[in-house]
Structure 1
Amino acid sequence: MCGITGFVDFKNFSTLQFLENMVRSLDHRGPDDFGVQVFENENGIVGLGQSRLSIIDLSNAGHQPMTFRHLTIVFNGEIYNYKEIKKELLELGHKFVSDSDTEVILHAYYEWGNEFIQKLIGMFAFAIYNDSNRTLHIYRDRVGVKPLYYYQKDGLFLFGSELKSLMEHPKFEKEINCKILPNYLQLGYIPAPYSIFRDCYKLLPGHYLVVDLSTGSYETFDYWNAKDYFLKEKSRLSYTDAKLSLKSLLQSAFDYRMVADVPVGVFLSGGYDSTAVAAILQHNKTEKLKTFTIGFEEGNNEAPFAWQTATYLGTDHTEYICTTAEAQAIIPNLPHFYDEPFGDSSAIPTTLVSQLAKKSVTVALSADGGDEVFCGYASYFNLNKFNNKFNRIPKFSKKYLSAISPFFRRNTFALPVQFQHQLTSALEALNANEYSQFQILFQRAKEKPMAYINSFFNSTFKCNNSPYDIDFNGYSHPIEMAMLADIQSYLPDDILTKVDRATMSVSLEGREPLLDHRIIEFAATLPIDYKFNGETEGKRILKDIVHDYVPKEMMDRPKSGFSLPIYSWLRGDLSYLLDEYLSKEALAWSGIWDVDFVFKQVQLFKEKKLHYLPLIWYVLMFQMWWKRWMMN
């Protein structure tokens, strides 16, 4: 795991010192080594930099930037099957000077060109500069485990693992991307390909980008898309055979994630996903797997379940119960960790468990992705219910309601605000085509209607864009559409962003064994009833595999997850944050908010009368981010 950054400057303004400053901003991602390299030619200046966290081949032979002939690379991530690829390259006559996966990438690119990317099993974001044809190629892994931002304006192209490295360049302009702000309040994160800044983007998962120095332009290409596998003909494997095949894939994926020259552990919550990882890795092994969990004095506490699971499996388990003060102390650091507004409050416990694990290991396996890949979220079940009810409305009734809907839209003012938005969403669905109906119903299931969200902003920032730019045609079940939407947006832009920044804040490498692309491809082709029972239970096939290792009665309990009493804190110990950041004076800092409306929502929150509680947290996180990055 590392931090990478660099530039292509067509106006020859950038210097080696600029590059060093950009890399130094990523020291937390890679404290073990530091490297920069600059190339000058008639087209401009290319700079590549890396901060290294040594995981595979700890020697200086793994130093980056690394060069092979006319190719130079900076790499963040891990290629788990690098030894198999290396063997193939050795048979083709290649010679290696290190045991690093970085060198294997360089040789693979030299041998196979862009097609080499299909051979990689891993998580990655890397840039390869080809000094022969004057091109820079930047790649991001299929699911988006590793981040990659880029910026282009006025003859300058920048890239980096985190926005803070781009902001170190003196020519980076911090202009707010106004159009994406309503989507931030709707989702709690900035959806890719956008960032909080204009002219600055996230490279989409499963994509690569090519900068051509001879033309001064760049182009993006996709090389993998989960959609292709959801649209395939469903597998005809029996449930028993599918379970055996999936178990074999899980074993392979989990074993790959243990490849390292440093200690490795597992985050264990006691839920099905993390138990699957721990159980399969510990099975038939004498050496005890290191597992870690945290609990809390307040809120949902999964620590007892994790301890029970660890005891049953026989892992080397470490548990820590965090105080309220320890959890609250993380909050002021979040704007620095995340670089752009980020509203997922589970970043707090994720940071705390990362701090705990770092005391014993350098690599930690997380179990994210199980809900998206195997259908585990309650929102999917709610969407299914909503869709079934909607489809039971006779066509003639829909036409009648559609005809009179303008009257109701104009006369909802007497209803409580949450019912106004529910009625408006339903009326919108009646008047929409099938694609738009899904978007509206899915949005309704997420319970953050855009009409209400737009009220938070002054007129400049209002927006009606859907964050899900996905073609939903051809799917056999609405739940599959929702799963794909989450795999392509919520998973990389919220969950994986959260884990990456939390682990990297303490120089800990986080790995995601359930997000091996082979698992996603296989699961997407399974019939929906292998994953969902049709009512309120998902992850059927994954749960049945876990039951082969851990008794069902030990696992069956309500889903909880990381949950902290954030809103109670904001009305109590943390009320000073509302006073500091959500006062009328503070809300006027950016010129973004409808100050009177937002301030009224804050007062309703304090009086426990606000329906959409997360929005207060999202606004607070934006305000804290603004003060950290726009005022300092």
Structure 2
Amino acid sequence: MCRIVGYWDFSIGLSDEQLIIAMRDTMLDRGPDDCGEFCCSSGIALGHRRLSIIDLSQNGHQPMMDTTKRYVLVYNGEIYNYQIIQHELEALGYTFKGTSDTELLLYAYIQWKEKCLDRLQGMFAFAIWDDDEEQLFIARDRVGVKPLYYYQNEKIFMFASELKAFQAHPQFEKKINTRALSNFLMFGYIDAPLSIFENCYKLEAGHYLILRKDQSVQKVCYWSVRSSFNNDFSKSLSLKELLVDSFTSRMRSDVPVGVFLSGGIDSSLVTMLLSEQGYHLNTFTVGFDHQSYDESAYAHYVAQRFGTQHEQFTLEQKDVETIIPLLPYIYDEPFGDSSAIATYFLAQSVKPYVKVVLSADGADELFGGYDRYAQTPQRYAYFQKRRFLKYLTSILSPERSVSILSKTPYEMGIDKFLRIKNSLHAKHFMEHYYNDLSHFRKEDLNVNHLADYHPLFSTVPKSIEENLMLYDFEHYLPDDILVKVDRATSASAIEAREPFLDHRLVEYAFSQSLESKMPNGGKAPLKALLEGAFDESFIYRKKQGFGVPLEIWCKNNFRDLTDMLLQEAAKSEEFNPFYISKLRRAFFANERVDFEKIWFLMVYMMWKKVWMV
């Protein structure tokens, strides 16, 4: 885990060494082992902070330059098949000074240019300056494990692993992107390519970008999971072979490696398969003092079953009180996934033990693990069979229809659009729903773009369940789940690896039929692999989420903080003061309120107080 930063100043054609150092060192805690910078007369400056994982010597120092001094690289990530590519490059005449995958990536780009991306198996975000062509190349891994932002105006282009680096540059303009803010208030995260700031973007997963001297930008999608829909994997490795290969490749390290073990299906499978391969594992879990949130007993059971060196840490209220004020610094744009609190606590707790952890994210999106995948078509069918409800929505106004339908038994836990998409005009409904969730003033509303984010508007000819899985893989996974884990671990100076997100495994999963993944509940192929090692009551128990009892605490122990932030939101120019005040009163009166609305507003106001001063 490292952090990268750079800029190209077109206005004066010069770069400032002290400026790139200041930008680089905003991410000091993310890369404490080494640092470096590069500046040249073309106006290019590159910076790097390193967390040493493979080849701990200075052979991995960055920025890294080739012997001709034409190419300069800054890189964050891990290439898991680096040994195979190294042998290929050595056969072509390249000589390596060390075993760092940084050197390998530099030579791979020199040899194959952007086509090198097709050979890489791993997680990465990197930038390469070509001094002869006066061209900057930046790229991000296929799934979006590693972050990469960029900012551009008529004078400058900047890129960085984190937004906070841009704020150290005097040409960065802090202006809220209202579309991104509405996106956050709808979903709790900001969908790529948007960021919270105007003119600032996330490079999407599976994309690269080329910037030339004339300031022209070429952005290319080099990989998409959609291309694997009709692939034939009958002659390839089996699912278990793919899993073992992916899991074991992510154990390669010159520093200690551990596993985040929740006790759920996915992390238990990682622990089981690695133990079967002879690894003596360090496993870590977080427990909660609220029983309904606590799965630590299952994690302890798995650890005992495979003889791991297991550590358990209990998240208490006092820990949450400490972590909440840190969230705007850890996640430097608004981020509303409340499980980030427990993730950061766990990352901080394992820091004395290991420098690398495996986190079993992505299996739900690949193999249909979320309850909503099975529940959505059932609930949709429920509405379709109720002719009276369909009749009501045909004769009433959209607003009245939504009011009535919100009282149906399936109101909670499902986008209401699923129950009325065939009865209401989409735009009318989305206007109502958007007005309800965004809390924006009327002049700031932009309803039309919401269709871009809704899986039911997908042009992919798949079932509802498959469209939801695809949507989650392309949006929720990279922009929520992976952001949560990356920022929490990097802020703790440890590297998180995602063993379920090897692109070969992803392509395999999306080529499989829905029936094979969800015959009677989700993740059937993964559960089948656990049979024999665990009894059915463990394997087929109800899925439990990963979170904290935040709503209870915000009404009681954190009441003063919650009240203060909601009152500040009511006074903030972005929001409708009447709506916020009404929401605040209802929440503290214990009326039924969607707590996510409360938490998203709190998160935004905390972020604003830190970054918009």
Q: What residue is the counterpart of 2:446 in the other structure?
A: 463
1:37 aligns with: 38
Residues 107 and 413 of structure 1: CA distance in aligned 2, closer, same or farther (over 3 Å): closer
Match of 1:409 among 370, 380, 398: 398
Corresponding residue of 1:141: 141
Q: Which residue of 2 aligns with 1:46?
A: 44
Q: Which residue of 2 aligns with 1:216?
A: 215
Residue pairs, 1:275-290, within 5 angstroms: 275-285=268-278, 287-290=279-282
8 A Cα contact 2:379 2:419, kept in partner? no
Which position in structure 1 is the counterpart of 2:437?
A: 453
Change (3 A) 1:256 1:11: same
Q: Measure the CA separation in 2 of the matches of 1:604 and 1:207.
A: 44
**Residues 1:571 and 2:555 aligned together:** yes
Counterpart Cα distance in 1 of 2:479 and 2:111: 33
Alpha-carbon offset, residue 387 of structure 1 = 3.9
Gaps of 5+ in 2: none
Give a deviation string over 1:230-249, Cα, whole Å, max 9, x none: 3x1676x5xxx99x700000
Structure-1 separation of matches of 2:183 and 2:526: 32
The C-alpha deviation readout for 1:527-550, integer Å capped at 9, x for no partner, is 11111126xx10000111122443
The answer on whether the counterparts of 1:587 and 1:623 sit within 8 Å (CA) in structure 2 is no
Alignment-derived partner of residue 590 in structure 2: 608
2:15–2:40 CA contact under 8 A, matched in 1? no
Question: Aligned partners of 2:23, 2:560: CA distance in 1, in Å?
Answer: 34
How far the C-alpha of 1:18 sits from its partner, in A, is 1.3
CA distance in 1, matches of 2:102, 2:309: 32
Q: Distance in 2 between matches of 1:308 and 1:425?
A: 39
What whole-Å deviation, never above 9, does each CA across 1:536-594 have from its counterpart, x for those lacking one?
A: x10000111122443333333221132211011011111111232111x45324x1010
| Secondary structure at the counterpart of residue 582 of structure 1 | helix
Report the Cα distance in structure 1 between the residues aligned to 2:212 and 2:288, rounded to whole angstroms: 52
Shift of 1:427: 4.4
Cα pair distance change 1:207/1:571, threshold 3 Å: same
Deviations along 1:340-389, whole A, 9 cap, x unmatched?
11000000110111112111000000000010011011111122213444
What one-letter code is carried by the residue in structure 2 that aligns with 1:604? A
Matched, 1:386 2:379: yes
Residue 548 and residue 153 in structure 1: after superposition, are their counterparts in 2 closer, same or farther (change >3 A)? farther
Contact 1:234–1:526 at 8 Å: present in 2 too?
no
Alpha-carbon shift at residue 611 of structure 1 (Å): 3.1
Who is 2:295 aligned against? 302
Matches within 5 A, 1:4-403: 4-12=4-12, 14-41=15-42, 45-68=43-66, 69=68, 70-213=70-213, 215-230=214-229, 232=230, 237=234, 245-285=238-278, 287-298=279-290, 299-389=292-382
Supply the distance in 2 between the matched residues of 1:77 and 1:17 (Cα, whole angstroms): 25
Query: Which moves more between the two structures, 175-184 or 366-375?
Result: 175-184
> Deviations 1:79-105 (Å, cap 9, x if unpaired)?
011111000000111111121001101
What is the CA distance between 1:451 and its match in structure 2? 3.6
Instruction: Give deviations 1:207-249, integer Å, cap 9, x for gaps.
Output: 0011101x1121210000112223x1676x5xxx99x700000
Report the secondary structure of 2:285's partner residue: strand
Counterpart amino acid of residue 515 in structure 1:
L
Aligned equivalents of 1:253 and 1:582: distance in 2?
Answer: 45
- Shift in alpha-carbon separation, 1:474–1:344, aligned structure 2, 3 A: closer
CA contact (8 A) 2:356 2:497 kept: yes
Given residue 268 of structure 2, which amino acid in structure 1 is its aligned partner? T
* SS of alignment partner, residue 300 of structure 2: helix
Q: In 1, Cα distance between the equivalents of 2:60 and 2:527?
A: 40
Question: The residue matched to 1:480 in structure 2 has which SS?
Answer: helix
Amino acid at match of 1:134: E
Whole-angstrom distance in 2 between the partners of 1:578 and 1:21: 35
TM-score by length of 1: 0.90
* Inter-CA distance 387–417: structure 2 relative to 1 (3 Å threshold): closer
What secondary structure sits across from 2:612 in the alignment?
Answer: helix
- C-alpha distance in structure 1 between counterparts of 2:153 and 2:299, whole Å: 49
Deviation sequence 1:140-169 (CA, Å, 0-9, x none): 000000000000012210100000011111
Per-residue deviation at 1:16? 1.4
Structure 2: how far apart are the matches of 1:481 and 1:573?
40
Give the direction of change, closer, same or farther, for the CA distance of 1:14–1:67 in structure 2 (3 Å limit).
closer
Q: Whole-Å Cα distance in 2 between the matches of residues 574 and 401 of structure 1?
A: 43
Q: Structure 1: which amino acid aligns with 2:475?
A: S
Deviations 1:421-475 (A, max 9, x none): 9878744543558xx99xx8xx99xxx9324114x11123222122528783343
The residue type paired with residue 32 of structure 1 is D
Counterpart position of 1:505: 491
Of residues 545, 565, 580, the one that matches 2:564 is 580
Aligned equivalents of 2:556 and 2:590: distance in 1? Answer: 13
Distance 1:197 1:48 in 2: 22
Say if 1:39 and 1:614 are closer, same or farther in 2 by CA, change over 3 A.
same
Q: How far apart, CA to CA, are the structure 2 residues paired with 1:605 and 1:201? A: 35
Q: Are the equivalent residues in 1 in contact too, given 2:383–2:419 (CA < 8 A)?
A: no
The alignment partner of 2:462 has SS state of coil
Q: 5+ residue gaps in structure 1?
A: none
Within the alignment, does 1:533 sit opposite 2:531 as a pair?
no
Instruction: Name the residue aligned to 1:617.
Output: 599
1:145 to 1:252, Cα distance in 2 relative to 1, 3 A = same
Q: CA deviation at 1:317?
A: 0.7
Query: What per-residue deviation string (whole Å, max 9, x for no partner) do you get for residues 30-71 of structure 1?
Result: 000010001213xxx011100000001000111000011311
Contact 1:302–1:561 (Cα < 8 Å) also in 2: no
Moved more, 297-306 or 410-419: 410-419
Count of residues in correspondence between the two structures = 602
Identify the range of structure 1 (601-610 vs 194-203) with the bigger mean alpha-carbon deviation: 601-610
Classify 1:414/1:338 alpha carbon distance in 2 versus 1 (closer, same or farther; 3 Å): closer
The CA distance in 2 between the partners of 1:384 and 1:541, in whole Å, is 21
One-letter amino acid of the counterpart of residue 461, structure 1: D
Moved more, 200-209 or 162-171: 162-171
Alpha-carbon shift at residue 320 of structure 1 (Å): 1.6
C-alpha contact 2:384 2:419 (8 A) present in aligned 1 = no
| Contact 2:176-2:198 within 8 A present in 1 as well | yes
Structure 2: distance between partners of 1:91 and 1:489: 40
Mapped partners of 2:549, 2:256: distance in 1: 34
Q: What SS class does the counterpart of residue 238 from structure 2 fall into?
A: helix
CA 1:102 to 1:413, structure 2 compared with 1: closer, same or farther past 3 Å? closer
Partner of 2:293, secondary structure, is coil
Q: Is the 8 A contact 1:35 1:51 kept in 2?
A: yes
Instruction: Check the 8 A contact 2:330/2:487 in 1, yes or no.
Output: yes
Q: Is the 8 A contact 1:55 1:260 kept in 2?
A: yes
**TM-score of the superposition, structure 2-length normalised?**
0.93
Residues 249 and 519, structure 1, Cα contact 8 Å, conserved in 2: yes
Which residue pairs with 2:470 in the alignment? Answer: 484
User: What fraction of aligned residue pairs are identical, expressed as a percent?
Assistant: 40
SS of the equivalent of 1:85 reads: helix
Q: Is the 8 A contact 1:364 1:510 kept in 2?
A: yes
